[in-house]
Amino acid sequence: MRIGLVTACFEPVVNGVTRMVSLYRQHLEKAGHKVTVFTLGLESRDDVERGIVRSPALPLGRTGYHLAVRYSRSAQEEMRQMDILHCHHPLMGLEMAHRYSLCPVVFTNHTRYDIYISAYSPLSQPASEMLMRRFWPSITDFSDVVIAPSESVRKLLLALGVRKPVELIVNGIDLSAFHYYASQKITWQSDSPGQPTRIIYVGRLSAEKSVIALLHEFARAYSVNPQLHLTLVGDGPQRRQLEQLASELGIRSRTTFAGEVDYSDVPVILATADIFATRSVSEVHPLTIIEAMAIGLPIVATCSPGIDDIVVDGVSGLLGPDREGELAHRLVALSMDPERLCHMGSSANRASSRYTIQNTVSHTLDLYERLLTERPDQERRSTRWQNRARRRVLSWQYYLPDALRSRSRRSGKYEQ
């Protein structure tokens, strides 16, 4: 099977989506399929050998993302040779895959985009959700099937009005290295008794991850239990701000900024910790939480779609509402109960076994084969309708409130 993985960014960018695309490519190729990654940016010397097709685009600062209105002609031609196109980003990916494809198009919804909108714009969370209800059905209409990585996210997509079939296929990881270091972790802990309780966060240091809120929660917890230490693994635009905030909160000496690390080092670093903590609610099935559980770390987090599907409150971690002080309370409670901490870590390790990349790829291949039999792409409307739908989705006036849209029509300034 010729499979195209379509993504707005790819290696060397480090984030959960690029990691998931890399895992898909590696294990699909192991299963004997030919995989091509379609993305944007400048080509590197080994891209052709690695099956990566990049189309020229404008870089969006230092984010690793690029802006383009089309793929290159060679990318378009190669995309038309695919049997399946699997998109991992809605913008700079899904619409263009739909535009150039001659095969079924699958889209995996990896992110809570309403949270990203509220984090990077003046819009409140309710306003972002309202905006999502207006445009998300039209965006996802460019696919034939939408994959939800968790049951909570599947329900969320249906609540947003997604019209295409929504399939549940959970994200998975390669557990082997994490389970190996989970056994080493027990030995290391027995060799170093009396150490501080080490809390760790792994992820991007950016607004949508709520790392500022995490620092505030840690400061509250530290004021109660001074035997705590926090390590932040990852980099991002908020790093300097977070370092300054740690100093202002009086926790700089108890906070380590490890920066960006090679993925092969992540299991080792996680194995030195006791608790994984996050305040983020933007992920839909976070790989970092699965990785921490595989090492044997209990999770302390905020209730949100995706996390609720992985972590069982009171069994593999402690979850609480999105309120100030809630996460700090749980950090203190767990850190001061070593027996419970150890028991939850063991439960988390056992629960992680459900989330293997082999299971994810197997279920995805079943979906691909079903789509190649049913061929829903051949039932799409005419090219003329597709172009009209595309213009509507890409037009900012389409997302105006109905009253303003009507006024624009009467004034002749807007035509739907």
- Please report, for the domain that includes residue 115, its CATH number: 3.40.50.2000
The answer to whether residue 403 sits within a structural domain is no
- Pair 7, 40: CB distance under 8 Å: no
The arithmetic mean of pLDDT across residues 296-308, rounded, is 92
Instruction: Single out the residue in 355, 370, 389 at which a domain terminates.
Output: 355
Tally the residues of the chain.
416
Q: How many domains does the chain have?
A: 2
Position 342 scores a pLDDT of 92
The answer to whether residue 18 sits within a structural domain is yes
The answer to whether residue 413 sits within a structural domain is no
The arithmetic mean of pLDDT across residues 127-156, rounded, is 89
**331 lies in the same domain as 364:** no
Position 64 scores a pLDDT of 76
- Pair 145, 167: CB distance under 8 Å: yes
**37 lies in the same domain as 154:** yes
**183 lies in the same domain as 121:** no
**34 lies in the same domain as 113:** yes
**147 lies in the same domain as 274:** no
**14 lies in the same domain as 101:** yes
The arithmetic mean of pLDDT across residues 310-317, rounded, is 95
Position 276 scores a pLDDT of 97
- Share above pLDDT 90 across residues of the chain, in percent, rounded to a whole number: 60
Position 74 scores a pLDDT of 92
What's the alpha-carbon Rg for the chain, to the nearest Å?
A: 22
The 10s digit of each residue's pLDDT in 150-192 is 898 899 899 999 999 999 999 999 999 898 888 777 555 544 5
Q: Look at residue 227 and tell me whether its pLDDT is greater than 90.
A: yes
The secondary structure element, H or E, covering residue 136 is helix 125-140
The 10s digit of each residue's pLDDT in 371-403 is 999 999 887 654 444 555 555 555 544 445 554
Position 380 scores a pLDDT of 66
- Give bridge partners of residue 238 from the DSSP assignment: none
**288 lies in the same domain as 368:** no
Residue burial 88-114, b: 16+ Cβ < 10 Å; e: rest? bbbebbbbbbbbbbebbbbbbbbbbbb
Domain housing 272: 176-355
Cis peptide before 286 (omega within 30 of 0): no
The answer to whether residue 22 sits within a structural domain is yes
Q: Model's pTM, two decimal places?
A: 0.81
**195 lies in the same domain as 281:** yes
Across the chain, what does the average pLDDT equal?
86
The answer to whether residue 163 sits within a structural domain is yes
The answer to whether residue 330 sits within a structural domain is yes
Q: How many CB atoms lie within 10 A of CB 192?
A: 9
**156 lies in the same domain as 25:** yes
Q: Which of 90-99, 231-240, 328-337, 390-399 has the lowest mean pLDDT?
A: 390-399
**232 lies in the same domain as 338:** yes
The arithmetic mean of pLDDT across residues 91-98, rounded, is 88
d(C-alpha 264, C-alpha 281), whole Å: 26
The arithmetic mean of pLDDT across residues 228-250, rounded, is 95
Q: Which of 96-100, 116-120, 176-180, 239-243 has the lowest mean pLDDT?
A: 116-120
The secondary structure element, H or E, covering residue 199 is strand 197-202
Q: Look at residue 56 and tell me whether its pLDDT is greater than 70.
A: yes
d(C-alpha 116, C-alpha 207), whole Å: 8
**106 lies in the same domain as 190:** no
Position 295 scores a pLDDT of 95
**209 lies in the same domain as 247:** yes
The answer to whether residue 214 sits within a structural domain is yes
Position 196 scores a pLDDT of 86
d(C-alpha 284, C-alpha 237), whole Å: 22
- Share above pLDDT 70 across residues of the chain, in percent, rounded to a whole number: 89
H and E: helices and strands count for the chain: 18, 15
Position 10 scores a pLDDT of 86
The answer to whether residue 314 sits within a structural domain is yes
Position 256 scores a pLDDT of 96
Q: Which of 22-31, 57-66, 285-294 has the lowest mean pLDDT?
A: 57-66
